[in-house]
Amino acid sequence: MLRDELNDAMKEAMRAKDKRKLGTVRLILAAIKEKDIELRVQDGPERNDDAIVLDILAKMVKQRQDSIKAYEEGGRLELAEQEREEIEIIQEFMPRQLSEAEMKAACEAAIAEIGAEGLKDIGRTMAVLKDKYAGQMDFAKASGIVKGLLS
């Protein structure tokens, strides 16, 4: 389970006195705790715990990519480099990202699985993809592929 992996990584980073990794893993665990509290308040459908963690990790990577752009535009290259290091640490806990061809095949399979026929089925198709491929694909790109396949 990813939570256990993250807790082990935090302990390992403490032992190794790796401040960057320790700080990043603590940020991840704090975000997970925050999401747990949020989900406790909402009475929603049960979700796969690893899927929730992967969703959080993907959002953290996206935030850091946005920060890198801002830091580079502002001439703060040392801060951009720190963000890159954090992305590398976060990605250690994420599964391999699907290639373009694998993404297209996954989109086609999801469309076939639910019997999607038109643009009105994009939402249902994306829900299936997010459930099966959390953390493995860029869902903005996947949405474009699904839209192209259904038009």
**Alpha carbons 16 and 22: distance in angstroms, whole number:** 9
Sign of CA dihedral 97, 99, 102, 104: positive
Tell me the two tokens of residue 1: 């389970």
User: Worst-scoring range by mean pLDDT, 42-46, 73-77, 120-124, 146-150?
Assistant: 42-46
Task: Count CB atoms within 10 A of the CB of residue 48.
Answer: 12
SS3 label, residue 21:
helix
Block residue for tokens 């990577």:
61
**Can you tell me the distance from the alpha carbon of 57 to that of 62, in angstroms, rounded to the nearest whole number?**
9
* pLDDT for res 32: 92
Residue 134 has pLDDT above 80, yes or no: no
User: What tokens does 104 get?
Assistant: 């297209």
Ordered structural domains, the chain, with CATH: 2-91 (1.10.1510.10), 100-150 (1.10.10.410)
Structure tokens, 105 = 């095949």
pTM here? 0.71
H-helix or E-strand spanning residue 103: helix 100-114
Q: Comparing C-alpha atoms, which of 88, 101, 84, 89 is closest to residue 137? A: 101
For the residues 13-35, what does the mean pLDDT come to? 95
Compute the distance between CA of residue 39 and CA of residue 31 in angstroms, rounded to an integer. Answer: 12
- pLDDT tens digits for 26-84? 999 999 999 988 888 765 556 667 878 888 998 999 999 999 999 999 999 999 999 99
**Tokens encoding 37:** 């509290």
Average pLDDT over residues 8-23: 95
Which structure tokens are listed for 102? 């694998």
Task: Supply the pLDDT for residue 87.
Answer: 94
